[in-house]
Chains A and B, each alone.
Chain A
Amino acid sequence: MGPDSHEMRDAEFARLALPLLPAIARVARALTHDASDADDLVQDTFLKAFRHWSTFVPGSDCRRWLSAICRNTFFAQRARERWTTAVGGDMDLETLAAVKLHALARENGVEDMFARLDLAPAMNNAIDALDPPFRDVVRLVDVQDRKYEEAADALGIPVGTVRSRLYRARRQLQQSLIRYAIDAGFHVTGGPAAATPVQPFGGPHVTT
């Protein structure tokens, strides 16, 4: 590669790849859950991208290309960890579970817990306690407001898998937080629980 082609490569990289740093930083933050690790991952991603810039297809989606490098780098670094968590399950059941958990919250006087209480510390603890595959989709979709397709792209998994993991993760988070609110005595006595019992379609209540 001659001096001119080096110059062209550098200019292209600066024009196409570097502006995507904030987007890749968000992906890295979602994957690592740690600011320092995320910064290291972003740096590794851009160094690899620069070294292999010749493999980037002009006109293709640079963000997707960088996301793939970021993801592959992260997974390679965490290869010793298990990434085969079973994530099967019925998505219908997960959404119906959300209704039953609402009923449980109402019956225990904590229906308005998410609006009334500062649950950020408990929420962060609950998110951290999720298995990594579930935590990743929550971070991307619920915290970073990414679409299912974008999360699938960032994680290299099908959209259907994003959905199933997301819905199950939300159920687990709701269970954790409702249990937390009840155990902490945050219930409202004489609240809506007594006045208007919610109807979760007559099914059995979820046991937490």
Chain B
Amino acid sequence: MSRLDDCREIVRQLWPYLDGALPDEWQVRVVAHLDACTNCTSHFDFARVFLEAIQRSGAVSLDVEPLRARVVAALEAEGMRAP
């Protein structure tokens, strides 16, 4: 397989790799390739910081205590005894 074909195979695994969804065999292969290929590494880095930016954009704390009190009150009105 040529270097170009190898790069193409590796970038096909870009999203599954970054999502931690690759089988072990592919995980090892991608890591080994990235160790040696700066061009592919730059693609993966760009995608990784993009995913981090998505996560930052939605980083809102979810305080569920008021919601829990509201749900329990609704359940008690439905007949459930207080937990």
Which A residues are within 8 Å of any B CB, using their own CB? 6-7, 10-11, 13-14, 18, 21-22, 25-26, 29, 39, 42-43, 46-47, 50-51, 92, 94-96, 98-99, 102, 105, 111-112, 114-115, 119-120, 123-124, 127, 138-139, 141-145, 147-148, 163, 166-167, 170, 173-174, 177, 198-199, 201-202
Contacts and interface: CB of A to CB of B under 8 A. Distances in A.
Interface string B45-82: 01101111111111000101001101110110011110
A29 B57 contact: no
A175 to B, nearest CB: 11
Say what secondary structure dominates the interface of chain A: helix
Say what secondary structure dominates the interface of chain B: helix
Contacts of A177: 50, 53
Interface string B4-16: 1001100111111
Given A143-B55, A143-B57, A13 B67 contact: no
B75 A102 contact: no
B74 A47 contact: yes
Contacts of A138: 54
